[in-house]
Amino acid sequence: MKLFELVLKRLVTRGRLTVHYANGKKVTVGLPDPAFPDLALRFKDGRVPLDIVKDPRLGMAEAWIDGRVTIEGGGIMEFLSMIRANNRWEQGKSIETKNLLKRSVGTVRQKLWRANHKARSKANVAHHYDLSGALYALFLDRDRQYSCAYYPDADNEAGISLEQAQEDKKAHIAAKLHLKPGMKVLDIGCGWGGMALYLHRTCGVDVTGITLSEEQLKVARQRAADAGVADHVRFELIDYRDMTGPFDRIVSVGMFEHVGTAHFRTFFDTCRNLLTPDGVMLVHTIGRMGGPGVTDAFTQKYIFPGGYIPALSEMIAGSEGTRLMVTDVEVLRIHYGLTLREWYRRTMAHKTDIVALYDERFFRLWTFYLAGAATVFEHGGMVNFQVQYSRDRRALPITRDYMHEAEAALRGR
């Protein structure tokens, strides 16, 4: 317990946190701060402190999921917000100061964790995306956009809805694709079909969406049929490595995190070969600041097995040598935090429904996942990258004005 308390005192200085041990002892760290509610952790057994010290994120997550720790004065979002806000990424040490041995071990681990062979990819995707469609309907927007929305300001003072923010995200991406009616577009990792249907509806393009989730495929195909556009918006259950082209445009939103660094070069080689000579691609992905890292044990075990959040340097290194040209890079810093906060709010509002679908343990797991993700975008080392590629330097206008004009026109509709 002494080691745990030493760690705790370093983690929390702003905000007051009281820990009640299973044996009746309690300890309080930090000072009251108007930015945080006073919180208390109550441990149900003596193993919890040791589990947290061994692996802070996984140890706390499993104790929370199993009900071996409860939180008073707030919930898991308030607790993780306090911890993250006290340890902001911007205030950490530079990578050069890290222990050389630790970095070397990390390099070996990341090579083992990031492999995502074709035979394993479908199972990895099914682990998360083949959960009940009823679950996603409870916390996502009506279009089921399971990726970062696009907000006008850091605190959403404009008060726009999640639905509007997701529509604005699609317009933002469509504008970067520089689409013209009749173009053929490939949507890699199409989800439930929202992006593909939007691009056809607003830009008059034909879209082929591909996924490895059977549940998503069923919904996407039904949506296209219901809209009467199945001859223009098609969906297939196929790995991107097995696709044939050509396509004028490729869009990929929230899929690159599942590629695995060992396959980055294959991904970009495949995409280049699928594009026409003047083709353009836009990759939207969660991104890691501060260089390469390792997927944490909680995410790997419970949320996205085989997933890995890339550093920008890894993305660029993966595409170098393919003769794909990086034509635009944008970093979205706050948007996903706002998105995840809204997903968390809706999840909490539908607790009874989610427990009925699964159970209390799953509900606690899901809230830990959403709260942890929200706070890592608010205070930690995660952002979103939008990287645009083209095969020809003259395929796109040479200033970004076309993006702003197209986006304004799409929002005007």
- The verdict on residue 110 lying in a domain is no
13/151 same-domain check: no
Q: Is the pLDDT of residue 334 over 50?
A: yes
pTM given for the model: 0.92
Q: Is the pLDDT of residue 128 over 80?
A: no
Q: Is the same domain home to 306 and 396?
A: yes
| pLDDT exceeds cutoff 70 at 104 | no
216 to 116, 244, 345: CA distances (angstroms): 20, 21, 24
Q: What is residue 111's predicted lDDT score, i.e. its pLDDT?
A: 53
* Chain-centroid distance, C-alpha 65: 21
pLDDT at 105: 42
Q: Is residue 106 part of a domain?
A: no
- What pLDDT band is residue 306 in, cutting at 50, 70 and 90? confident
Token pair listed for 377: 């975008």
pLDDT band at residue 170 using 50, 70 and 90 as cut-offs: very high
Structural domain including 265 reads: 118-412
**Same domain, yes or no, for 133 and 12?**
no
Residue pLDDT, tens place only, 340-374: 999 999 999 999 999 999 999 999 999 999 999 99
Same domain, 72 and 168: no
pLDDT-based confidence at residue 258 (cuts at 50, 70, 90) = very high
Q: What is the mean pLDDT of residues 215-242?
A: 97
* Residue 263 covered by a domain: yes
Work out the pLDDT band at 95, boundaries 50, 70, 90. Answer: low
Residue 104 lies in a domain: no
Domain count, the chain: 2
Supply the pLDDT for residue 101.
40
**113 in any annotated domain:** no
pLDDT above 90 (res 80): yes
Using an 8 Å Cβ cutoff, are 311 and 287 in contact?
Answer: yes
CATH of the domain at 261: 3.40.50.150
- pLDDT value, residue 97: 42
Residues of the chain with pLDDT > 70, as a percent, come to 91
Give pLDDT tens digits for 14-43.
Answer: 999 999 999 999 999 999 999 999 999 999
pLDDT at 113: 46
